Structure 1
């Protein structure tokens, strides 16, 4: 266990930013993040604003681990990444894909509130038309369907040759039932929220409710903890992000680089969804990949995109509360 850095030391380096999005995502048009500098470099703390302190504290643990502790040695110098398609109308698909240079895989958001399955079929059809027969398409429902809805959607989307379904249902039991129903279709199930938001991230593997898992460095407590979860689950892993700045994406890239096996393109291309970033050379996909390595924010960009004073105060108070949670746990 790593000793918890003192709160005043952490607070002295924090920069809070608010970055505009190129496309509305998760119902927001700006992404807020707190960046922290430690002896090993810069890290990101950016749990979504609705997350409770006990959950957000794990994200702070990940940031402090990345900023203060040397990370596992990388096994690869670059990470192949997928494009992420928000729940946009079908006619906007080409514009979004144009932001992802060389990506051969697209993750399409579905099960969006207020949209119909017909809307989502049209979006996936537009992605398939743009990517051609060799492109890979995965869909992500963020647990938005029940088992019957997910089975119906899987059949309706079968013509588009999906790579896998990501978190089609909310619970482990539902995922297990759906996986059994879809067995003859040879359509893999990926678990995301059932890993990163679960009290027991290995429950989905024990229940044989998924064929692969999606792991994220921040929500799981850092690179090394995520590597432990992948090893214990014994399932292929896809490394993804949570709409991070390029600093956060570098944390995800460190995780992907340290995995013994990397079978799938990773969801680390989401800097393409930002209209601005904190580094001069953002980690947007080039040739379908992003590089591995430490990066630092540009001071001018930190100033240009500094969050308003009230939002900075909100994040500083959140860091203080989450630090107290980590103190109660005994270490980072």
Structure 2
């Protein structure tokens, strides 16, 4: 592992921003991240506020890799990207899809707290009506029990789902659901997300036969190189996704997608389109359903425009200090 930059170097390179969202996503209308201007390029430390320091320290490791080591060599320079539809009312689906350019694949949030299966069905139906030829996938973020997931996915299967992402919370639940779906002849593949990135052992899901494919995110897994190793060891197809990043964070996701030996599915790296602000002038958003690999740099005027308040900046700097301590060998 390369030598860590000093804490003073990280603090000197830090900028904290609060980026407004076009629609509520993951329960937030403003996305805070800490950006680092490193010698190898701009990097993003954006672990969600509720994550503890041990988990957040992996996000800092990914940022240090991006800003002080750089990314591994790519094997492709164009990445297919899906559109993302949050848990909005069905009537709002056309407006959300209008933020994405020529999407051939759409990921739809389902199992939102306070909503019903009827809401999910209506939302998926609206996407299918708007884009009858698109590949459609759903993401429950572990919001269903196994019986609820069986009912929901049996119902949603009529929309020809590509796969269902993290329909239930646990690895054991995923394995049980996968067996039940196969036995019942329900043709929906199961993808694991949280069961990979939030587990102490990210390979446990593969050993348990709990998924047909895995979702990988560079930041939560500790960086591009560690994520590549996890995919290789898991032996399952992988989809690269974002964690509601600015264009700086999306650049790391593109680096991961570009370096994977195989990339059979469109990636979930188009979430900057859900934001009403960014730190890059030429944002990393999809055109014709994909993105070309390129470097980005934060713009000083945008950093100033979206700078977080002093108390939030201090909160992030204190968090950086704590997570840096976890990074020490």
When normalised by structure 2's length, the TM-score is 0.98
The 1-side partners of 2:261 and 2:294 are apart by: 17
1:254 touches 1:293 (CA, 8 Å); kept in 2?
A: no
1:137 touches 1:162 (CA, 8 Å); kept in 2?
A: yes
2:117 matched to 1:149?
no
Structure 1 residue 318 displacement after superposition: 0.3
Partner of 2:201: 200
Unaligned runs of 5+ in 2: none
Mapping for residues 1-332 of structure 1, pairs under 5 Å: 1-132=1-132, 134-183=133-182, 184-327=185-328, 330=329
Per-residue deviation, residues 198-247 of structure 1 (Å, max 9, x unmatched)? 00000000001000000000000000000000000000000000000000
The 2-side partners of 1:126 and 1:204 are apart by: 32
Structure 1 residue 77 displacement after superposition: 1.1
Structure 1 residue 187 displacement after superposition: 1.4
The 2-side partners of 1:99 and 1:51 are apart by: 29
When normalised by structure 1's length, the TM-score is 0.98
2:104 touches 2:289 (CA, 8 Å); kept in 1?
A: yes
Per-residue deviation, residues 253-299 of structure 1 (Å, max 9, x unmatched)? 00000000000000000000000100001111111112212210111
Structure 1 residue 92 displacement after superposition: 0.1
SS, match of residue 59 in structure 1: helix
SS, match of residue 20 in structure 1: strand
The 1-side partners of 2:24 and 2:164 are apart by: 23
Per-residue deviation, residues 111-145 of structure 1 (Å, max 9, x unmatched)? 1000010011000000000111x211100000011
The 1-side partners of 2:152 and 2:187 are apart by: 15
2:192 touches 2:215 (CA, 8 Å); kept in 1?
A: yes
SS, match of residue 172 in structure 2: helix
2:142 touches 2:168 (CA, 8 Å); kept in 1?
A: yes
RMSD over aligned CA atoms reads: 0.7
Structure 1 residue 186 displacement after superposition: 2.6
The 2-side partners of 1:54 and 1:225 are apart by: 16
Structure 1 residue 100 displacement after superposition: 0.6
The 2-side partners of 1:319 and 1:89 are apart by: 37
Structure 1 residue 13 displacement after superposition: 0.8
User: Which runs of structure 1 show a deviation greater than 4 angstroms over 4 or more consecutive aligned residues?
Assistant: none
SS, match of residue 295 in structure 2: coil
Per-residue deviation, residues 167-197 of structure 1 (Å, max 9, x unmatched)? 0000000000100011132311000000000
The 1-side partners of 2:93 and 2:3 are apart by: 47
The 2-side partners of 1:119 and 1:314 are apart by: 37
2:157 touches 2:187 (CA, 8 Å); kept in 1?
A: no
The 1-side partners of 2:294 and 2:7 are apart by: 27
SS, match of residue 157 in structure 1: helix
